[in-house]
Amino acid sequence: MTCNSDDYSALEPSISGRIMELHHKNHHSTYVNSFNNFSAQLGELQSSSSSSSSPDSIAQQIALQPLINFHGGGHINHSLFWENLAPKGSGGGEPPSGKLGKEIEATFGGVENLKKVMNTKLAGIQGSGWAWLVKDKETGGVGVRTYAVSSAVWDLGGRRETLLLMMDAESRSGRWAVCAAAGD
């Protein structure tokens, strides 16, 4: 499901259409708009050749980096979330099966236990964040990683890990999406 559509109710009853709409139009758009705003401010400071290397300008540029990282990471993670949701009739709404389902069963004792592990780990994040089921590219094992909302998943394990499942911690409601990179 891409949230460019007007059908925010496509995932009901699993996820409320109103919650999806608010989350996409208000919450995610704040990350996008703020990222664009702070990036533009940084560009303006850097393009001002006469003062871009002054101590004051450098301090301002440094101060913008955490804001760009926070909002950029929030945008990337939410984009992955939206792109990997699907209604029940379109391949979503069912627990993982095949190789992934077997790995979840072997590692966690099933999907319900995996959800418990993810929710427990998410409870340790202050504010909002994400839980990711990842597969280690070297060992083949799976595990759960948690990151604050601003941590872009591209930094995950130095790219040693493949994203398999993701859960948004903002409501800890168990909303999760199978990542397209997962394969089966």
**pLDDT tens series, the chain, 184 aa:** 444 456 788 878 777 888 888 888 888 899 999 999 999 999 999 888 667 788 988 999 999 999 998 888 888 888 887 877 777 777 777 788 888 889 999 999 998 899 889 888 888 876 677 888 888 888 888 999 887 766 665 555 556 778 888 877 654 444 444 444 344 3
147 lies in some domain: yes
Angle separating helix axes 111-123 and 98-108, nearest 10 degrees: 60
How confident is the model at residue 154, as a pLDDT? 54
For residues 20 and 5, the answer to whether their CB atoms sit within 8 Å is no
Residues 71, 108: one domain?
A: no
Domain count, the chain: 2
Tell me the three-class secondary structure of the chain, residue by residue: CCCCCCCHHHHCCCCCHHHHHHHHHHHHHHHHHHHHHHHHHHHHHHHCCCCCCCHHHHHHHHHHHHHHHHHHHHHHHHHHHHHCCCCHHHCCCCCCCHHHHHHHHHHHCCHHHHHHHHHHHHHCCCCCEEEEEEEECCCCCEEEEEEECCCCHHHHHHHCEEEEEEEECCCCCCCEEECHHHCC
Range of the domain at 69: 8-88
Q: In Å, how far from its chain's centre is CA 184?
A: 21
Residues 28, 84: one domain?
A: yes
Give the other-Cβ count within 10 Å of 70's Cβ: 19
104 lies in some domain: yes
For residues 96 and 104, the answer to whether their CB atoms sit within 8 Å is yes
Residues 60, 108: one domain?
A: no
CATH number of the domain enclosing 42: 1.10.287.990
Residues 66, 107: one domain?
A: no
